[in-house]
Amino acid sequence: MSLSDIDRDLLQRCLSNGPRAWEDFVDRFLGLVVHVINHTSQSRSIRLTAQDREDLSADVMLAIVSDDFAVLRRFRGDSSLATYLTVIARRVVVRELLKRKTSSPSLSNVIDRTNPKNRVPLSEERINNRDEVEQLLRSLHGPEADVIRMYHLEGKTYQEISSSVGMPENSIGPTLSRARAKMREAGTE
């Protein structure tokens, strides 16, 4: 898709500092920027606060206006302006998320789920009450009990459990789910 007439006009107005050009640009593309922020953070399993989203939106917009709209001046028109801005926004967001991951309390506590050692489905939660786990373990035997013990009491990852019990890694989650179902049936969850 090539550059539309509306976007061509908006781009020219921004580059010539036309009246209300920047406000019109923000009105037209802020939703796209927020979508890119949400998609990029979700694909990396990073939870963002409203403040994080505002800050990242500002970072993207600042990147666009910096050096007298250098990013817009480099646009060649080979694609739609929205496609070009999506790429720019994604680059800025990834860079900022990597920078902030170590410094922001809301981002630094995130588990990097792209690392196989840390991969735990979002739907699986550890049972925090040790007594509940102990009670569940009394009703289970064999590998099922081992999986529950290692996951809930020892805090091991799916990969570590898989290596220890010789069960495929993709079977750990279903085993945990079956055990929880047994616990619910027993009326203890």
Q: Where are the domains of the chain?
A: 5-108, 120-185
- What is each CA distance from 138 to 35, 54, 127, 149, in whole angstroms? 48, 49, 15, 11
Start-end of H helices in 118-186 = 130-139, 142-148, 158-165, 172-185
CATH number assigned to the domain covering 120-185: 1.10.10.10
Which sign, positive or negative, has the C-alpha torsion 108, 110, 112, 117? positive
Q: Average pLDDT, stretch 102-110?
A: 47
The tens digit of pLDDT for each residue in 151-166 reads: 777 777 888 888 888 8
Confidence band of 130 (pLDDT split at 50, 70, 90): low
The tens digit of pLDDT for each residue in 47-101 reads: 888 899 999 999 999 999 998 899 999 998 888 999 999 999 999 998 888 887 6
The C-alpha atoms of residue 46 and residue 137 are separated, in whole angstroms, by 33
Topology at the third CATH level for domain 5-108: Rna Polymerase Sigma Factor; Chain: A (1.10.1740)
User: Is the pTM higher than 0.75?
Assistant: no
